[in-house]
Homo-oligomer: A and B are copies of this chain.
Amino acid sequence: MERKKTFTSYDVARLAGVSQSAVSRCYKSGASVSKKTRDKVEKAAKKLGYQPNALARSLITARSNSVAVIISNLTNLYYPEVLAQLSQYFSEKGMRVLLFAVDTESQVDGVLGQVLQYQVDGVIAAVKLTLEQIKKFEDRETPLIFYNRHINSHAASAVCCDQADGATVLTQKLIDFGHKKFAYISGPEDSMVGIERQKATLTTLEKSDISDYTIWNGDFSYDGATNATCKLMNEAKQKPDAIICANDVSAIGVIDTLRYEYNIKVPEDISVVGFDGVGPATWASFNLTTIRQPVKRMTKAAVEMMLERIDTPSLANEKRVFSGIFIEGNSAKI
């Protein structure tokens, strides 16, 4: 495994007849270089196809210009959009994204070591971290921003969509319309987002003295929702007239199952609502009534907060909470 033959600043310097420092300065904005030297260097660099070695630079400047993005479940339909946006915005700011896609949140711990080793300037985590794990970043003064995960303590910054608010709005609208019997298709038990949505939903129901609801275990997935729906239809004593789903993909699974397995009309017979506002939610087959998360604004906020904190590590932690946008589709009578 012999070293690759790439050119270094010394090669450029030799060819241009200047010192290595001069070459280095040509790649640093605001450095003092005469036009003559700059021309010589640029010409030589071009001739050799020279590109500065970002690793060497990072080693000395202690800035890698890269950010780790830790995402739990890229097949979730919601996250790819988030990732694309983050990547886009960071790229515009001259930062690179080092992707850590974990299958299950249990893999997170193994990944964190890697994250630290790569000397990333910051971390965006769309997974849960323990306080201990958070502390590791704190100790290093590496800014950490959660995406759609709160942390009880104020140990880290976060960008979130207001899950509770969105769920409340949705539920209240269903109640106001006159729905009486509810079912809730839940997310995975260990999902913070799922728990918040569920809690807000149930609270809202109970505030209106509605106790006629059942909860069925989905897991944010189409298949999970399908199973939950079958169970619901087979086991529940009476059919609900509204089904509130933990996310859009679940809602889609529910709708499909109702329509194609039980020949039930949505929204005529049963209303179904989701949460997220993913692409397929707008497809004519579903035309979901849902809460859309303002992904662009959220990711942009995350990137901004990150850059601020990289420049000024002492900045206090901050949480930015965005309200979801109610989308009136045609999957619920509202």
Contacts and interface: CB of A to CB of B under 8 A. Distances in A.
Contacts of A79: 80
B4 A75 contact: no
Interface in A231-290: 252-253, 255-257, 259-261, 279-280, 283-286
A113 interface: yes
Interface stretch (A99-107, A145-153, A316-324): A99-107
A200 B58 CA distance: 49
A51 interface: yes
A62 B56 CA distance: 11
- Candidate in A119, A256, A285 with the most chain B CB atoms within 10 angstroms: A285
* Size class of the A contact interface (CB-based, 8 Å): 35 or more
A118 B54 contact: yes
Nearest to A139: B49
Given A55-B118, A284-B260, A84 B91 contact: no
A97 interface: yes
Contacts of A119: 53-55
Contact of A51 (B55, B113, B261): B113
- Candidate in A101, A136, A313 with the most chain B CB atoms within 10 angstroms: A101
A98 B99 contact: yes
A88 interface: yes
A97 B80 CA distance: 15
A119 B57 CA distance: 12
A118 B84 CA distance: 20
A1 B256 contact: no
B91 A80 contact: no
Interface string A280-322: 1001111000000000000000000000000101000000000
Contact of A75 (B3, B64, B118, B279): B279
A52 B101 contact: no
A118 B332 CA distance: 50
Nearest to A76: B80
9 contacts: A55-B58, A55-B119, A74-B84, A80-B83, A87-B101, A252-B283, A253-B283, A256-B283, A280-B280
Q: Which 6 A-B pairs have the closest CB atoms?
A: A80-B80, A74-B84, A256-B284, A87-B101, A54-B117, A260-B284
Interface of A: 1, 3-6, 49, 51-56, 58-59, 62-64, 66, 69, 74-75, 77, 79-81, 83-84, 87-88, 91, 96-101, 103, 111, 113-114, 116-119, 136, 139-142, 222, 252-253, 255-257, 259-261, 279-280, 283-286, 311, 313
